[in-house]
Amino acid sequence: MSKAKPPFTSESPLYILGAGAIGSLWASYGYQAGANIRLLLRNQATVNNYKKQGGISLIRANQALLSPVPADCPQSISSPIQHLLITTKAQQTLSALMAIKPHIADKAVLVLLQNGLGIAEQIRHEFPQATVLQGSTTEGCYRQTDFEFVHAGHGDTFIGTVNSNNKTDLAVVAQLAASLSFPPLMVSVSDNIEAVLWRKLAVNCVINPLTVIHRCRNGELLNTPETITQMRQIVDEILHLSTALNRDHWLEDLHEHVINIAKATADNRSSMLQDIEAGRETEIDAISGYLCRLAEEHNIKMPLNQQLLQDIKRISATN
């Protein structure tokens, strides 16, 4: 895809909601690329703390890059929000959006880049005139301190629109993808983003909760026959549901794919494990919870996924 000059101007900046790993990754590289980026933080106290740190510190190849990306809170937003990249945790998304709703333009473009499913439908209900795009990324990034992150590995990023054959819509998505491609981050258009998201959900339903249960890195799931068997059984349940939903063709070679992802991210601590270790709420409801709700609607039994859902909720509640 050809690289286009970012359209984000002083009158229409790119706002990023969610200053976690992925949001900060895009904010940092966007700022370095010269795009007009503005972070949206929770409140003025968080903004003040951020400013004391001097901006986002991003470590890549053992070198730190400081990006003093301008930051706002809901009370200090001065420009109407025309373009919004949403990278919050799934369970925090709606409340974070409602806090800035008065500032979001009616026909804004909202790009959702987070784990889990089910949130986009809620956003479309609250913002019926907005263009809501969904995305998926495998960029590896993790937090060290509040505003210090490590870009640990490159991945693939896709955005797309659900149930749209409109060529104008596709052209808009392609232009936006190019505009969000801040080197070394590259964003591509998927003509079937639902398949991309479903495949990622399947992987997350296997790796994320199991790394919490066994308190291990991703690759360590491949070290024992017990965990390998668990992975296979969980995949089997997901494939059974996918067949009932006529989505099994989206999950070709899923067993092998999950194993390959665990190998490729062997040293990573899953985001769910990091949340548990930090005492934060996890995204389990938008991952395993979403899957189990679909299964219940279609009268499909998924005992292992249901057990993982309950176990993670219990661990989170007692953490």
Domain ranges of the chain: 14-190, 195-318
162-191 per-position pLDDT tens digit: 765 555 577 889 999 999 999 999 999 998
pLDDT of residue 3: 45
124-157 per-position pLDDT tens digit: 999 999 999 999 998 888 888 889 999 988 889 9
pLDDT of 74 > 60? The answer is yes
pLDDT of 80 > 60? The answer is yes
pLDDT of residue 141: 86
Mean pLDDT of the chain: 91
Which residues are catalytic, by number? 200
* Fold agreement (14-190, 195-318): no
The band of 4, judged by pLDDT with boundaries at 50, 70 and 90, is very low
88-114 per-position pLDDT tens digit: 988 899 999 999 999 999 999 999 999
The band of 78, judged by pLDDT with boundaries at 50, 70 and 90, is confident
280-310 per-position pLDDT tens digit: 899 999 999 999 999 999 999 999 999 999 9
pLDDT of residue 1: 39
pLDDT of residue 10: 67
pLDDT of residue 219: 94
DSSP string, the chain: -PPPPP---SSS-EEEE--SHHHHHHHHHHHHTT--EEEE-SSHHHHHHHHHHTSEEEEETTEEEEE---EE-TTT--S-EEEEEE-S-GGGHHHHHHHHGGGEEEEEEEEEESSSSSHHHHHHHH-TTSEEEEEEE--EEEEEETTEEEEEE---EEEE-TT---HHHHHHHHHHHHHT--TT--EEE-TTHHHHHHHHHHHHHHHHHHHHHTT--GGGGGSSHHHHHHHHHHHHHHHHHHHHTT-GGGGTTHHHHHHHHHHHTTTPPPHHHHHHHTTPPPSGGGTHHHHHHHHHHTT---HHHHHHHHHHHHHHHH-
Which is more confident, 7 or 112? 112
pLDDT of residue 28: 97
Instruction: Select the CATH number that applies to the domain covering 14-190 from these four: 3.30.450.20, 3.40.190.10, 3.30.1490.440, 3.40.50.720.
Output: 3.40.50.720
pLDDT of residue 163: 62
What is the arithmetic mean of pLDDT over 237-258? 95
Q: What CATH code is assigned to 195-318?
A: 1.10.1040.10
